[in-house]
Amino acid sequence: MKKTNYKPNKDHEYLARLQAYYAEHRVIPSYAHLMEILGFASKSAIKKVLERLEAAGMLERTPYGDWAPTDLFFERAIANHPVPAGTPVPVSDEPCEKVMLDRFLIEKPSQTVLVRVKGDSMINAGIHHGDLAVVERCCHANPGDLVVAIVDDEFTLKTLGRDQEGFHLIPANPHYPIIRPQGKLEIFGVVVGLVRKYP
Amino acid sequence: MKKTNYKPNKDHEYLARLQAYYAEHRVIPSYAHLMEILGFASKSAIKKVLERLEAAGMLERTPYGDWAPTDLFFERAIANHPVPAGTPVPVSDEPCEKVMLDRFLIEKPSQTVLVRVKGDSMINAGIHHGDLAVVERCCHANPGDLVVAIVDDEFTLKTLGRDQEGFHLIPANPHYPIIRPQGKLEIFGVVVGLVRKYP
DNA sequence: TATGATAGAGAACGAATGTTCTTTAGTCAA
DNA sequence: TTGACTAAAGAACATTCGTTCTCTATCATA
């Protein structure tokens, strides 16, 4: 009977401690330090643990050979999105330590900017006045993309459209007109995310 | 004339590259590897760069001495009104507001959880299927609050309402009915934020 | 009870790491 | 030109790193 090396009971705890350390310091420590953190007395044990976590998809190695967390590593924090079905009250799981919305939303930090949404011209796309748009300042956009354009020296968030007359900006609100640029259409960036804060 | 060692021009680029690498691998590499990434030919140069970034508040050291990013490291600029008027390719920034999304959205980390939104019952409130709701698991909610309730062992995101018949859950979609709990209404938490990722 | 597999300890070792020091090259002001 | 300052290169070095190997204790299964 062949089975995986991943021992849920123990390794879950090791993973939890690693996640806790990473949540605090945003770094994966060396084997020697992990001995303290995980409570081992030998580096070889650490290596085996990390390799099991790697096999479980929680860790990977960078091109330089360093250990790095994978998306799976963050899944618990990001979404208890496997909605607990059975449990009525004791849904209370551990709080997401320090979540990683930044990492989740921003893939290219140096090219990413936040833009405050003004007006309700995109309300049917679920984009409200005051929302923060996560904008990636990339070279060019494709029709259908949500883009931030510069019109009359103002940011405008619209859907980029194209027809025989050329590029244009499509609002998501019947009370607003399609914008057809008189000159060239200046695209500031592509919207890759949206953030809203209540109240 | 005493001034800071932090050279904006160059160090900004080094920081950007470090951020890009970290965004991809979630790890800060060793000096030797940073030589490749930042384009240096000596480790001592790397050390000085990192120390300048530390002085600028972008990096810190863990208790074990490893380099680690700080909150500042993850901050993004909000390009609000500042519409680059003259500049055709509005490059970069003037003193502008900066935000770390985690901090911005999550004020009480230990009580905050992310819940994936299912269905389109709140579509008129700009909350779509697949969005992430930032939920604060506080004691009790007030009428008018966006809440996550537990109905039939499932999370449900609705507006909390109250009339003479008691508390109930109001969708933001005319095709869905108001939910009036048969027993007690179980509130999981209050929605304090929303996150969406495109595409 | 015997067996095989596994988790972990422990030691050894070459390679890689971070630090420190010295040297070189470039910049700016007087 | 000179002199002060600084970024970066380069070398030297003790420390630490990750790997590999052997050995022990534990445990489930046959």
pLDDT value of position A26: 93
- Domains belonging to chain B, first-starting first, are 8-101 (1.10.10.10), 109-195 (2.10.109.10)
- At a 7 A CB cut-off, the residues bordering strand D are A 1, 30-33, 43-44, 47, 65, 67; B 5, 7, 10, 40-45, 48-49, 64
pLDDT value of position A82: 37
pLDDT at residue B81 greater than cutoff 90: no
Determine the residue type at A73.
Answer: F
pLDDT value of position A126: 96
Percent of chain B with pLDDT strictly greater than 70: 86
pLDDT value of position A83: 41
Per-residue pLDDT of chain A (199 residues; tens, 9 = 90+): 333 444 456 888 899 899 999 989 999 999 999 999 999 999 999 999 999 999 999 999 999 999 999 988 987 665 554 343 333 333 334 545 556 788 889 999 988 999 999 999 999 999 999 999 999 987 678 999 999 998 888 899 999 999 998 899 999 999 999 999 888 888 999 999 999 999 8
Tell me the average pLDDT across B124-145: 90
Could B101 and A101 be called an inter-chain contact, meaning their C-beta atoms sit closer than 8 Å? yes
Is residue A10 within 8 Å of A61, Cβ to Cβ? Answer: no
**Which ranges of chain B would DSSP assign to H, the alpha helix?**
8-25, 31-38, 43-55, 101-105
pLDDT value of position B178: 94
pLDDT value of position A90: 32
User: What's the rounded Cα separation, in Å, for the pair B75 and B98?
Assistant: 6
Question: How distant is the Cα of B10 from the closest Cα of chain A, in angstroms?
Answer: 14
pLDDT value of position B5: 43
CA angle B4, B6, B11 (to 5 degrees): 175
Position of tokens 């074990």? B64
Sign of the dihedral defined by the CA atoms of residues B77, A100, B193, B106, in that order: negative
pLDDT value of position A172: 96
Tell me the average pLDDT across B132-141: 85
Question: How distant is the Cα of A44 from the closest Cα of chain B, in angstroms?
Answer: 20
Tell me the average pLDDT across B176-195: 90
Q: What share of chain B is helix, strand, coil (3-state, %, to 5)?
A: 25, 25, 45
CA A75 from centroid of its chain's CA atoms: 11
Please give, one letter per residue, the 3-state secondary structure of A19-34: HHHHHHHCCCCCHHHH
Chain B residues 33-92 with CB within 8 Å of chain A: 33, 62, 64, 66-69, 74, 76-80, 83-85, 88, 90
- CA Rg value for chain B: 24
User: What's the rounded Cα separation, in Å, for the pair A59 and A18?
Assistant: 11
